[in-house]
């Protein structure tokens, strides 16, 4: 079994990457690291609002990944832009109860019909956080 630790620098860099995307007004629903056993590691899913928005997000993410400091942190397969992850992001948002949640690891859980072996939420659009209480 591969090591499930995720380097803190990747978590911090992903927060900055997503904040830049949000500040640029791009249509994303969520961003979260997801442990994928079949890949033997962590994948950062950036969830586009729709299939039509995927291309814009892919172009923006690709451009940002070539800039510093992202170029030093992310490998080629680390980040996937995918609008098909909306239901999974919605399930993750419904699971989260307390803020701040960004960068906090959620170990094995089954929620909203989705199994997470490990997840680290980075960004969830406000409407996905149905049960959030600010601590």
| The pLDDT of residue 25 | 95
Q: Long-range CB contacts (< 8 A, 24+ apart) of 63-67?
A: 64/17, 64/20, 64/21, 65/17
Per-residue tokens: 7:
């380097």
User: Does residue 57 contact residue 46 with C-beta atoms inside 8 Å?
Assistant: yes
Q: Is the confidence at residue 7, as pLDDT, over 90?
A: no
pTM attached to this predicted model: 0.89
DSSP H helical ranges for the chain: 8-23, 51-65, 70-73, 86-95
pLDDT given for residue 82 in this prediction = 94
Contact 32, 65 (CB under 8 A): no
Output the pLDDT for position 109. 85
Count the residues in the chain: 135
- Pick 2 or 54 by higher pLDDT: 54
**Nearest alpha-carbon partner for 85 in 119, 117, 58, 46:** 46
For residues 118-125, average pLDDT = 94
């Amino acid at each position: 079994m591969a090591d499930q630790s995720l380097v803190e620098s990747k978590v911090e860099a992903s927060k900055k990457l997503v904040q830049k995307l949000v500040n640029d007004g791009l249509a994303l629903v969520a961003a979260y690291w997801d442990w994928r056993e079949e890949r033997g590691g962590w994948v950062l899913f950036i969830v586009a609002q729709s299939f039509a928005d995927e291309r814009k997000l892919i172009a923006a993410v690709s451009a940002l990944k070539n800039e510093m400091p992202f170029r030093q942190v992310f490998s080629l397969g680390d980040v996937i832009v995918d609008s098909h992850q909306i239901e999974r992001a919605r399930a993750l948002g419904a699971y989260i109860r307390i803020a701040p949640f960004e960068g906090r690891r959620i170990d094995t859980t089954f929620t909203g019909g989705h199994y997470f072996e490990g997840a680290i939420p980075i960004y969830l659009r406000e409407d996905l956080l149905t049960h959030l209480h600010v601590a």
